[in-house]
């Protein structure tokens, strides 16, 4: 009870988070789409479909399997990021498949990139490294820190100072931040990476908005699609060609908008 009151107080002090707080209350009245049972089924579904990163990029048309894949985030940036991470006083999520993100951004020549979920900023680092030499490129990231964790100062900590010029960080929940980011880009985006609210309801809210904002030929990447059936239902409802790949025990869904 005390914890619930503390959470309520945390949200009450942040006007921009009220829409998100309301959505958290409303979802409690819906059928649980994030149950352990459904998660197991969603994991099986993803496990049956996953392919290697080059195969995934090839199947959505970004890459030819005849070319040897050698598009990797420079090791010097990873080493610097590891040093920066050591300065963090809070523990946040680790890195996903950075080479996949780096390669997808490079191969699609993405310039207007939107990501949800920053934490330490591993994915932001990979994306920013991919656009570092493009004058007209930008990454807008959206991140709402986890309530009561006091981790605000450490969000994006692994991103090198030298890469931050092309970065805009919106510190708000997806519910406000996604629309703000899309507007900042003038209505359309080249690539989006979804890695924030992993619940079914969070994805069901965000996926269609991001997809609609993607320009033709744009790339959509979602992390942790094994958490629930939101990704499966999204691609099936829209009859989309997709690929699934794997990074450690997590599955990633990738689509290219035709």
Ligand X SMILES: C[S@@+](CC[C@H](N)C(=O)[O-])C[C@H]1O[C@@H](n2cnc3c(N)ncnc32)[C@H](O)[C@@H]1O
2-61: contacts with ligand X (CB under 6 A): 20
- How many chain residues touch ligand X (CB under 6 A)? 23
**C-beta of 97 vs 190, nearer to ligand X:** 97
CB of 96 to ligand X, least distance (A): 5
Q: Does 145 contact ligand X by CB under 6 A? A: yes
CB of 216 to ligand X, least distance (A): 26
157-186: contacts with ligand X (CB under 6 A): 173-174
What secondary structure does DSSP assign to the chain, as a single string? Answer: -HHHHHHHHHHHT-GGGHHHHHHHHHHTTS--TT-HHHHHHHHHHHHHHEE-HHHHHHHTTS--TTSPP-----HHHHHHHHHHHHT-SS-------HHHHHHHHHHHT--EEEEE--TT-HHHHHHHHHTTT-TT-EEEEE--PPTTS--GGGTTTTS-GGGGGGEEEE-S-HHHHHHHHHHHTTT-EEEEEE-S--SHHHHHHHHHHHHHHEEEEEEEEES-GGGSSHHHHHHHHHT--EEEEEETTEEEEEEE--
Stretch that binds ligand X, among 52-60, 62-70, 81-89, 137-145 (CB under 6 A): 137-145
CB of 145 to ligand X, least distance (A): 5
Which of 80, 97, 197, 227 lies at the binding interface for ligand X (CB under 6 A)?
Answer: 197
Q: Does 120 contact ligand X by CB under 6 A? A: yes
Which of 53, 119, 210, 221 lies at the binding interface for ligand X (CB under 6 A)?
Answer: 119
**C-beta of 105 vs 144, nearer to ligand X:** 144
Q: Does 146 contact ligand X by CB under 6 A? A: yes
Which of 57, 144, 157, 181 lies at the binding interface for ligand X (CB under 6 A)?
Answer: 144
User: What is d(CA 185, CA 139) in angstroms, rounded to the nearest whole number?
Assistant: 10
CB of 14 to ligand X, least distance (A): 12
User: What is d(CA 251, CA 34) in angstroms, rounded to the nearest whole number?
Assistant: 16
Stretch that binds ligand X, among 37-45, 48-56, 71-79, 113-121 (CB under 6 A): 113-121
Burial of 234 (0-12, 13-18, 19+ CB in 10 A): buried
Which of 122, 167, 185, 220 lies at the binding interface for ligand X (CB under 6 A)?
Answer: 122
**C-beta of 54 vs 96, nearer to ligand X:** 96
Enumerate binding residues for ligand X (CB under 6 A): 20, 93, 95-96, 116-123, 142-146, 173-174, 195-197, 202
């Amino acid at each position: 009870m005390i914890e619930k009151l503390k959470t309520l107080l945390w949200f009450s002090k942040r006007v921009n988070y009220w829409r998100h707080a309301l959505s958290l209350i409303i979802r409690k009245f819906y059928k649980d789409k994030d149950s352990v049972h459904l998660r197991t089924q969603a994991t099986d579904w993803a496990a049956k479909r996953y392919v290697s990163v080059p195969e995934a990029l090839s199947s959505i048309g970004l890459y030819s399997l005849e070319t040897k894949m050698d598009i990797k985030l420079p090791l010097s940036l990873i080493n610097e990021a590891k040093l920066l991470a050591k300065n963090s006083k809070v523990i946040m999520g680790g890195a996903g498949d950075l080479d996949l993100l780096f390669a997808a951004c490079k191969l699609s020549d993405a310039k207007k990139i939107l990501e949800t979920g920053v934490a330490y900023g591993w994915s932001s680092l990979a994306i920013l490294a991919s656009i570092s030499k493009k004058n007209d490129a930008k990454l807008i990231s959206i991140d709402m820190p986890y309530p009561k964790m006091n981790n605000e100062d450490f969000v994006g900590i692994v991103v090198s100072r030298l890469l931050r010029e092309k970065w805009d960080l919106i510190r708000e929940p997806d519910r406000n931040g996604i629309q703000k980011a899309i507007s900042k880009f003038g209505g359309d985006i080249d690539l989006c990476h979804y890695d924030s609210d992993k619940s079914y309801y969070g994805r069901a809210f965000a996926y269609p908005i991001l997809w609609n904002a993607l320009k033709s030929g744009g790339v959509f990447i979602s992390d942790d699609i094994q958490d629930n059936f939101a990704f499966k239902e999204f691609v099936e409802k829209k009859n989309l060609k997709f690929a699934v790949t794997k990074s450690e025990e997590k599955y990633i869904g990738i689509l290219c908008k035709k």
